[in-house]
A and B are shown apart, each in its own frame.
Chain A
Amino acid sequence: MIMEFLIAILIGLLYASGLYMMLRRSLVKLIIGLILLGNGANLLIFLLGRITKGKPPIIPEESKVFLDAYADPVPQALILTAIVISFGLQSFAIVLIKRAYKVVKTDDIDKMNSTDEFS
């Protein structure tokens, strides 16, 4: 139970700091915020799939069904998928902000407003 509680706090911290970083004006902090948010979401899946210690989802040789509670493997598959996807997106995002910094010549998001202006 204490483990769940700690992970819940950790997830809250990750979401909060991720959102805080996204609201800053620097492009780099924006990406870091998105990464933190993504990690928070991954941990949330892990937590909500129930944490079961030391019970692998393997049926013992002599029986045909599970005799005991077992760790759900589905959330881990989900997290694995989500990690791979967010890895791809984040690497794209990092290259994008590098390009954007080179072309727009600022990393202040508030100054990136030429597409919103009237033309």
Chain B
Amino acid sequence: MIQHIVLYPIIIQLLLAILMLFSWRSISVQKVISVTGSIFSLLIAVWLFTTVWNNGTLTVQSGNWEAPFGITFVADTFAATLVLLTGISGLAVSVFSVGTILKARLKFGFLPVLHFLLLGINGAFLTGDIFNLFVWFEIIIISSFVLITLGGEKKQLEGAVKYFTLNIFASVIFLTAVAVLYGLTGSLNMADLSLKIAAIENRGLVEITAILFLVGFGIKAAIFPLYFWLPASYHTPPPAVSAVFGGLLTKVGVYALIRVFTLIFVGDVFLENIILVIAGLTLFTGAIGALVQNNIAKMFSYLIICHIGYMILGLGLYTEAAIAGAIFYLIHDIIVKTNLFMVSGLIYRIKGTFSMRDLGGIYAKYPLLSLLMIIPFFSLVGIPPLSGFWPKLALISESFKIENYWLIAAVLFGTFITMFVIARMWADVFWKEGVKLPRLQNFRYFDILKIEKKIQIVAPIVFLALISLYIGFGAENIQQLSLRVGNELMNNQFYIEAVLGK
């Protein structure tokens, strides 16, 4: 029964969360369960990934109901890769939360909810049923609502109002799309839908359904012009929460877009053009937004939006190499964005502020830590040979092939502005002479923390920086992986055969 590994990443997160609920009163026990459990779930994700890599796509029919009647769980290379990345960044965030989240918040169940969130993310990646995907999305958003509001500060609640409104609205649109899809085909299994949608005569109706999906997932993925909730809310919770949101949540939306538009709605030129235009505009507007920010966490929020553009661009170009580029970018982006927000948390710990105007002098005080923090920054910008460079190469060369110079301009613009804002931030935060800030009362600055707390803050950053370095220097392996994923996604008969067993 080797295919049951598909369910393990979901089950372990559920078990962890339940175990932590049973030790509600003892935070130290919760901390131990969270960190050791995250290590285990990373190991399980590695196991799943190597099994899928060696044996091909695995499927489980839940309750032994044959597809397309029951709910299917599918681990193809794409899903297994993303579960692995969730394991990596889940472990980093778990350790970082243990180190930085205030005791008052941990007492109200921060850690169990974090694991419920990871449960939802793993489920969304592994399910092969469109309604089940909706349910996993709901698990994700309800956990994220708790994480974003826990603590109840004014800015958190204000951000949360925008966050929950747009996310519930996106869910309603997604549900509407599922309803129309069910009315059209009478099926919910994604592989089965792929066959049935291809056979439908009324293409207009199919196109409208596809646009409903584009809007529903687009709000979650924060694409232009549906992203305004993101910069209003992502900087409000503690950095550990921003890290898991920025690293994984928007990427679940991107995953859903890539899955739906390579499996169910394929070969529609009109939609591909729309996606290309959206990608270009996302790159452009996200970059412009990042340019004017003074708060580093807010600047990173805009960079999330800007870089979603690259992945959507790969989807819109719709060639094997372009999809592989998008996947490579996705792999790089999950690690680097998680790390970026943790770095912002470290900067906040050192100085007690996010404002670039007040920050400064970190390089003079902590030269080694600064050198560590430069790794995610340079990876983000994509200075060769670090990780952000390689996927852009594929995206630009594929844009040249269709001779769309606007897209190339958008990619270069996004990259250039990213480099500019990161360089300016580096000069402001690290090199500039530090302003003498009044020490805040009751704020635990980095230099007065105990050594074990320091390790809990720095170790996850080191861990993710090492992974980023591997993605950059071992680009050949990652490229091989992305090409295989691109190949599987473009030839969706593999997926359909694996699920329906034909």
Contacts and interface: CB of A to CB of B under 8 A. Distances in A.
Given A85-B135, A119-B355, A37 B172 contact: yes
Given A22-B165, A85-B135, A115 B183 contact: no
Contacts of A45: 175, 178-179, 182
Interface in B292-307: 292-295, 298
B342 to A, nearest CB: 21
Contacts of A40: 172
A52 interface: no
A34 B138 contact: no
B183 A49 contact: yes
A37 B154 contact: no
Contact of A115 (B131, B178, B179, B233): B233
Among B180, B182, B236, chain A packs the most CB atoms within 10 A around the CB of B182
B428 to A, nearest CB: 15
Nearest to B164: A93
Interface residues of B, number: 46
A119 B160 contact: no
Interface residues of A, number: 40
B160 to A, nearest CB: 6
A103 B152 contact: yes
Given A41-B172, A75-B182, A119-B355, A104 B165 contact: no
Interface stretch (B141-149, B321-329, B395-403): B141-149
A82 B175 contact: yes
Nearest to A90: B168
B285 to A, nearest CB: 15
B155 interface: yes
Contact of B168 (A34, A100, A114): A34
A93 B160 CA distance: 10
A38 B159 contact: no
A5 to B, nearest CB: 15
B142 A89 contact: yes
A96 interface: yes
Given A34-B169, A100-B157, A115-B155, A48 B135 contact: no
Contacts of B142: 88-89, 92
Given A34-B165, A89-B141, A99-B152, A115 B236 contact: yes
Nearest to B353: A119
Given A37-B172, A119-B355, A96 B182 contact: no
A41 B149 CA distance: 27
Given A93-B168, A115-B233, A78 B161 contact: no
Contact of A81 (B135, B149, B292): B135
Contacts of A38: 168, 172, 175
A62 interface: no
A44 interface: yes
B31 interface: no
Contacts of A74: 182, 188
Interface in B148-202: 149, 152-155, 157-162, 164-165, 168-169, 171-172, 175-176, 178-180, 182-183, 186, 188
A13 interface: no
Contacts of A85: 135, 138
Given A119-B294, A119-B355, A30 B157 contact: no
A66 interface: no
A115 B169 contact: no
A92 B154 contact: no
Contacts of B161: 27, 96-97, 100, 109, 112
Interface in A56-98: 72, 74-75, 78, 81-82, 85, 88-89, 92-93, 96-97
B190 to A, nearest CB: 15
B158 A119 contact: no
Given A92-B146, A112-B162, A115-B235, 11 more contacts: A22-B169, A38-B175, A45-B182, A82-B134, A92-B145, A96-B149, A99-B149, A103-B153, A104-B157, A114-B158, A118-B295
